[in-house]
């Protein structure tokens, strides 16, 4: 048998032609979105002032297993996909582990992450609907960059509300978005009612994703020809991101491998939900068994310390309610929290699956994540995004366990992106100015006190 | 016939096993390096305090056509190679040209450029010789980053002298090098005799490559167990970079294409010399004919406005003399010059070939380069390095000429890297603060007045 190559690429013909909708195979479906006023399930017509019509269909459809990828999106994908499944030979050797480590690398595009997979789909549907533009929020900046690229390609206007602390710490992210013609506004801002209100109530705030979402939604619903798009959490996003898992599945098959452990970082769930989609299907259907592990920051621990309950999706409480693992919509990670994975909630799909025992979750402290990141960069030659490094950390831990037990497990993790725009965080790490603030039980009790009462 | 894919990858087995030494097939060999004191050709033993022994052999060997790539370097290459040959379908469509445009993309690695191809080879030979570490200079930072990565992998100490203006404008480049364990010093510095001298004579200087080279060489020859390595200009570097051209040749063969025009950016010549190596061989041997075009910045126009003469390789005049197209070793591009391609000289190999009429050269102004860069980013989805964008600019120009004439030419250009660390320059461009200072004839006469007198 030939040795497995460092990088396994599918050919363009082998690239999946349809997205996979995991909800179709879930035994317990995710709870529906509720109208924040009436607490009744949201209907398509209620969502249409906010979202594109085609995306609403995808959002609400719990039954259709496969959605064909539109030709235009498929062509866009071919500019940067299929992405490689990499055998981490160097890392295995450096760790001295009998485990086989693979990572699906989504960072080889200018947005630097997997976010482009959904950005291109959402921009396409917006254009197809005849819209002028879209609004969105971005935290670490990966989503905003990806959306700017997609909007430039499909000739749509793009308005990005960027969490203020990121806007200031990542001027280069802003500049990339500008290269692609997007307008970038630090949030909270004076350009929206909700932004003004938040600035009045919290004058020194550095912003949050929940707040930026509220601003972007307000602008979308109040500007003719605009809709709001979101880079994570939503069902439609997980649907588009299933391309990651489908390619991973096909590549593993091509080289004759079966995973024992699948590991992904989890913020809102876009990468994790995409990566695990076909594997989780087989697990639900009893066709395969493996451990699926979500890794989240200890500073924003929705899965491991949050509550499974209906909550507001945004600080301004204008969005539908979602049943998910949440830390409360007022939760904001400590200012020293680097990178993304800072959302207070979690995908309803992943929340339900976690609740039903199909996956594990682990929270890891920030400095250990950066130690793993630096180790990985030096050994595997890729400087990883802080988000992705959460998965690296746990993949290394699992490989070291194999070293102890002598087990030759196959570990697959998602390397969602590169850290080229996260060097301020790396600098803090090098200068030992990074710490590991973890919310206290009191902090969480406080932010969870504001959950809506749903009968 | 199948449609040619967007990206053509060789398999790992198809990756070239040897580097190609273009000098072996040149009818007129490049002029030898001369001892700056005696003006006699440098012998291996004179170079050995500065360079690694194996690299000196490669530097001086004008006869051996193929050098096997050492197994350790080949394994390193497999972490990020083979690199894709991309068909620029989107760009062709946007330009409305009948031309077929291909680019060899070398930016999919953390150093963000082709520089890693030679950095890994040089670090490997240094380690094999039992050295403790290497010194080098870096301008835009691509070479320094690549060398840091390679030294980290091969467990060598790495001391980088970074041109001061880049050090200050690109703190993130510095931080990446730090991630890989390198020491980065802004040049000119107080750590060397030549640095002190230059600082005394030019107190406000923002540094130059020539000056940083002098410092790095001084440290290498005065520190036991250290040697100096260089990322461009040298014959050995072009040898290692031939992997670019060899892969391009193999990929074109795989898809049944023959180039009409080959375009590469030129600073010291590392990318251009590598990209064109096998194509130039066939042109020299009369087996093929095509145009080969070097693109340089109008602000640093060695080929188009320099003199073909022996000159100092560095400001401190400690390095051997090289016969090349040069602007004079005191030449420093205007401070508004962005990115690399700022060396006063040019590879002796490329200089000889240009002198002998085997290739063309064109100088392009900076703002036009950034216009091309932004256009390319929006259409092809990759944010290019300013250096690479010189080639993009001319590739677009040639494609537009084909549009006028209706010719279906095949254009191949080198996309050497990404611009993720060049956003300060992009920002200047967006803010219309970029200008196109081009040296006057008087400027050049002044910097060329100091050429050594060689009989």
A58-108: per-residue pLDDT in tens?
999 999 999 999 999 999 999 999 999 999 999 999 999 999 999 999 999
What is the pLDDT of chain B when averaged over all its residues? Answer: 95
Range of the domain at B306: 7-14+82-112+235-448
Residue among A11, A152, A383 whose CB faces B179 most closely = A383
Using a 10 angstrom Cβ sphere, with 0-12 exposed, 13-18 middle and 19 or more buried, the burial of residue A396 is: buried
The answer to whether B437 contacts chain A (CB < 8 Å) is no
Looking at the structure, do residues A308 and A361 belong to the same domain, yes or no?
Answer: yes
**Structure pTM?**
0.95
Gyration radius of chain B over CA positions: 20
Gyration radius of chain A over CA positions: 20
pLDDT tens-place string over residues B12-49: 999 999 999 999 999 999 999 999 999 999 999 999 99
Looking at the structure, do residues A288 and A392 belong to the same domain, yes or no?
Answer: yes
Looking at the structure, do residues B169 and B316 belong to the same domain, yes or no?
Answer: no
Helix (H, G, I), strand (E, B) or coil at B384: strand
A2 pLDDT above the threshold of 60: no
Q: Which of residues 92-111 of B touch A (CB under 8 A)?
A: 108-110
Domain end residue (candidates: A203, A228, A253): A228
State the Cα–Cα distance between residues A168 and A146, nearest whole angstrom.
Answer: 19
Looking at the structure, do residues B108 and B120 belong to the same domain, yes or no?
Answer: no
Looking at the structure, do residues B96 and B125 belong to the same domain, yes or no?
Answer: no
Inside any domain, residue B454: no
pLDDT tens-place string over residues B422-447: 998 999 999 999 989 899 999 999 99
Tokens of A250: 């096909």
Q: According to the 3-state scheme, what is the secondary structure of chain A? A: CCCCCCEECCCCCCCCCEEECHHHHCCCCCCCCECCCCCCECCHHHHCCCCCHHHHHHHHCCCCCEEECCHHHHHHHHHHCCCCEEECHHHHHHHCCCCEEEEEECCCCCCCECCHHHHHHHHHHHHHCCCCEEEEEECCCHHHHHHHHHHHHHCCEEEEEEEHHHHHHCHHHHHHHHHCCCEEEEECCCCCHHHHHHHHHCCCCCCCHHHHHHHHHHHHHHCCCEEECCCCCCHHHHHHHHHHHHHHHHHHHHCCCCCCEEEEECCCCHHHHHHHHHHHHHHHCCCCCCEEEEEEECCCCHHHHCEEEEEECCCCCCCCEEEEEECCCCCCCCCCCCCCCCCCCCCHHHHHHHHCCCCEEEEECHHHHHHHHHHHHHHHCCCECHHHHHHHHHHHHHHHHHHHHCCCCEEEEEECEECCCCHHHHHHHHCCCCCCCCCCHHHHHHHHCCCCCCC
Tokens of B197: 């001298």
Test the A interface: residue of B5, B155, B175, B424 with most A CBs within 10 Å = B175
Looking at the structure, do residues A439 and A395 belong to the same domain, yes or no?
Answer: yes
State the Cα–Cα distance between residues B282 and B284, nearest whole angstrom.
Answer: 5
Inside any domain, residue B297: yes
Looking at the structure, do residues B269 and B414 belong to the same domain, yes or no?
Answer: yes
Looking at the structure, do residues B180 and B256 belong to the same domain, yes or no?
Answer: no
Inside any domain, residue A181: yes
pLDDT tens-place string over residues B215-270: 999 999 999 999 999 999 999 999 999 999 999 999 999 999 999 999 999 999 99
Nearest CA in chain A to B84: A80
Do the Cβ atoms of A178 and B109 come within 8 Å?
A: no
CATH code for the domain in which residue A428 is found: 3.40.50.1100
Do the Cβ atoms of A381 and B80 come within 8 Å?
A: yes
Inside any domain, residue B306: yes
Tokens of B176: 């990446």
Cβ–Cβ < 8 Å for B341, B387: yes
**What ipTM was estimated for this complex?**
0.94
B2 pLDDT above the threshold of 70: no
Domain end residue (candidates: A191, A209, A228): A228
- β A133-138/A100-105 pair status: unpaired
pLDDT tens-place string over residues A134-172: 999 998 899 999 999 999 999 999 999 999 988 988 889
Looking at the structure, do residues A129 and A33 belong to the same domain, yes or no?
Answer: yes
Looking at the structure, do residues A106 and A129 belong to the same domain, yes or no?
Answer: no
Total of domains in chain A? 2
What is the pLDDT of chain A when averaged over all its residues? Answer: 95
Looking at the structure, do residues B148 and B259 belong to the same domain, yes or no?
Answer: no
The answer to whether B383 contacts chain A (CB < 8 Å) is yes
């Amino acid at each position: 048998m030939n040795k497995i190559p460092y990088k396994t690429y599918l050919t363009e013909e082998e690239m999946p032609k349809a997205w996979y909708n995991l909800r179709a195979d879930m035994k317990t479906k995710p709870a529906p979105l509720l109208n924040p006023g009436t607490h009744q399930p949201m209907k398509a017509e209620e969502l249409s002032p906010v979202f594109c019509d085609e995306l609403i269909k995808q959002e609400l459809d719990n039954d259709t297993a496969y959605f064909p990828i539109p030709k235009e999106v498929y062509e866009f994908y071919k500019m940067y996909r299929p992405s490689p499944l990499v055998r981490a030979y160097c890392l295995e050797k450096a760790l001295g582990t009998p485990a086989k480590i693979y990572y699906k690398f989504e960072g080889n595009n200018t947005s630097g992450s997997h976010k482009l997979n959904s950005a291109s789909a959402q921009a396409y549907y917006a254009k197809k609907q005849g819209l002028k533009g879209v609004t969105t929020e971005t935290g670490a900046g990966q989503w905003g960059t990806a959306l700017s690229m997609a909007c430039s390609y499909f000739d749509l206007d793009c308005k990005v509300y960027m969490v203020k602390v990121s806007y200031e710490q990542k001027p280069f992210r802003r500049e990339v978005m500008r290269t692609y013609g997007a307008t970038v506004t630090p949030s909270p801002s004076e350009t929206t009612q909700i932004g003004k209100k938040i600035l009045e109530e919290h004058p020194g705030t550095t912003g949050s994703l929940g707040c930026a979402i509220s601003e972007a939604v307000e602008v979308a619903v109040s500007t003719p020809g605009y809709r709001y798009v979101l880079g994570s959490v939503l069902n439609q996003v997980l649907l588009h991101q299933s391309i990651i898992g489908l390619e991973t599945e096909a590549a593993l098959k091509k080289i004759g491998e079966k995973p024992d452990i699948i590991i992904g970082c989890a913020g809102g769930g876009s990468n994790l939900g995409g990566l695990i989609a076909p594997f989780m299907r087989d697990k639900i259907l009893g066709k395969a068994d493996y451990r699926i592990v979500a890794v989240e920051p200890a500073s924003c621990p929705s899965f491991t310390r949050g509550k499974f309950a209906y909550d507001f999706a945004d600080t301004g409480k204008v969005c539908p309610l979602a049943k998910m693992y949440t830390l409360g919509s007022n939760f904001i990670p400590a200012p020293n929290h680097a990178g993304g994975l800072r959302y207070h909630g979690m995908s309803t799909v992943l929340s339900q699956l976690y609740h039903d025992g199909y996956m594990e979750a682990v929270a890891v402290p920030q400095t250990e994540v950066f130690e793993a990141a630096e180790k990985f960069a030096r050994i595997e030659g890729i400087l990883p995004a802080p988000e992705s490094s959460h998965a690296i950390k746990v993949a290394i831990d699992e490989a070291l366990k194999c070293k102890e037990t002598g087990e030759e497990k196959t570990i697959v993790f998602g390397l969602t992106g590169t850290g080229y725009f996260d060097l301020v965080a790396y600098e803090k790490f090098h200068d030992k100015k990074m710490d590991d603030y973890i919310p206290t039980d009191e902090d969480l009790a406080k932010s969870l006190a504001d959950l809506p009462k749903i009968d």
